[in-house]
Copies of this chain bind each other. A is one copy, B any other.
């Protein structure tokens, strides 16, 4: 049943397609991405997509889910190995910056691209992207709240406010580093979050000097 060669082949195809779709979409966006270019990049035929997805929108939705999975595996999971509190919060930020500097995606950040692409057009893709970003921000907020609870951060810190700041300082790092073709923005981003956290953290030993 599970070792049906046809189903296995299909799943591999879908995954290969989704991986390439996320890569290309990080550059051109989910709508800017055309099925023809996606097909030629994979060496397959254009009509083959419709054996797996009803239309382009379904593929876009699955691509968002695939990008969420990639983000979880490469950023969230590793950072969760850091000890609870402010160190875990900073680990999330550093893992994100490493994701950018490692050039995992040719366009830098899938979510920044599709977020600005779809934030003004109604539809299922927009809702899916919106939910993904809500989930990510909720995670940042929760980890920040944990840092307050365990005493790493001063008790008057607003976790939602702090989550917004970390997200903003992180997202623009990839945008500037690519637009200006220089890694300067990554340095600013890291230092900004670090200084901010150190200012809110009574124990200076929990965070690196710089």
Which chain A residues have a beta carbon within 8 Å of chain B's beta carbons?
26-29, 31-32, 106-108, 112-113, 115-121, 126, 129-130, 133-134, 160-161, 164-165, 167-169, 171-173, 175-176, 178-180, 185, 188-189, 191-192, 196, 199
Contacts and interface: CB of A to CB of B under 8 A. Distances in A.
B169 A188 contact: no
Contacts of A126: 179
B172 A192 contact: no
A116 B119 contact: no
B179 A172 contact: no
19 contacts: A27-B121, A28-B120, A28-B121, A29-B32, A112-B116, A113-B116, A115-B175, A115-B179, A116-B175, A117-B117, A118-B179, A134-B180, A160-B188, A164-B172, A164-B189, A165-B169, A165-B188, A168-B169, A168-B192
A13 B167 CA distance: 41
B107 A120 contact: yes
Contacts of A165: 169, 188, 192
Contacts of A117: 29, 32, 116-117
A29 to B, nearest CB: 7
Contact of A108 (B31, B32, B120, B176): B120
Given A119-B178, A169-B169, 18 more contacts: A26-B120, A28-B120, A28-B121, A106-B120, A107-B120, A113-B116, A117-B117, A120-B178, A130-B180, A160-B188, A161-B191, A164-B176, A164-B185, A164-B192, A165-B169, A168-B168, A168-B171, A199-B199
